Amino acid sequence: RANTTISMALLAAIFAIYRIDSGRRLRMERELGRAVRNGDIEVHYQPQVRGNGMVSGVEALLRWRHPSGRLLSPEAFIHLAEESTLIREIGLEVLRQACELLQAWSTDPRTRSLRVAVNISPVQLLDDSLVASVAQRIQATGIDPSLLEFELTESALSTEGAAMIARMDALESTGVSWALDDFGTGYSSLATLRTLPVRTLKIDRQFLAEATRQESAQRLLGKIIEISHVMGMDALVEGVETREQRDLLIHLGCDHFQGYLFARPMPRAALHAW
């Protein structure tokens, strides 16, 4: 009987934890639902630079100013945002702010050729209204769409790949360009890669981390950069944290760099000062 009692107690405990957890989730989902309306969606920007140190653009990175006052990074809520499809609304808010930045930049000769990269969730990409929303934003702000770059993670192509690629093509016809994010962590074949409307390969930072430790990993990274060029794409490596890494990447022929060595993601005002 003692065993039964213990089992019952355990079950009750598990159930209680589950209820607290789903309660917390529900509350967070409600809060997130209000975030766009309340102006709590912030966008930080991380510079992307060329080998000669010139800035070529920035990546827009989402932040949520939670009602508690804390600034939450996407890792804390992006999963929930995708499951609840709130990411559609949130993604459009990021796009709105990114287009506003491009619009402001277009009036200054020092900034008017800089690009802004915006992350697109697969959930957004499969939304039927995305293409029209993007076209509308471009028209409303009068920006040059070739300065807007959308990033899709390579792993997004593993499910409903054909549908994703069709949407990428449709968006490309509005004038925006594509970058394939976290490249090397998904499973796309070289045959598929050739057919994608992608201008930039963003090589995952894991390859760089390994290349600084291992000779064979260094050769692999060099080959991936070469493959980008053979496919007519630019190579961008993320997660550049040290001078040694930057020098190695320049040696390997990398075109664009992004990472803490150059700058961390920062609010728009700080970016302007930077």
Q: Which of residues 142-201 bind ligand C2E (CB under 6 A)?
A: 181-182
Tell me if 51 contacts ligand C2E by CB under 6 A. Answer: no
Span from 1-9, 48-56, 218-226, 254-262 in contact with ligand C2E (CB under 6 A) = 254-262
- The span of 3-11, 14-22, 64-72, 86-94 binding ligand C2E (CB under 6 A) equals 86-94
Q: Does residue 58 sit in helix, strand or coil? A: strand
Is residue 119 involved in binding Ca ion (CB under 5 A)?
yes
Does position 40 interact with ligand C2E (CB under 6 A)? The reply is no
80 contacts ligand C2E (rule: CB under 6 A): no
Residues 199 to 238: which contact Ca ion by CB under 5 A?
none
Beta bridge partners of 149: 117, 177
Quick check: 152 and 182 in contact, CB under 8 A? no
Q: How many residues bind ligand C2E (CB under 6 A)?
A: 22
Distances (CA, A) of 221 to 135, 230, 245, 250, 267: 36, 14, 12, 12, 32
> Considering the complex, what minimum distance in angstroms separates the CB of residue 253 from ligand C2E?
20
Give residues 144-163 in contact with Ca ion (rule: CB under 5 A).
151
Residues 191-201 as b/e (b if ≥16 CB within 10 A, e otherwise) read eebeebebbbb
- The residue (of 104 and 266) whose beta carbon lies closer to ligand C2E is 266
User: Using CB under 5 A as the criterion, which residues of the chain lie in contact with Ca ion when the complex forms?
Assistant: 119, 151, 181-182
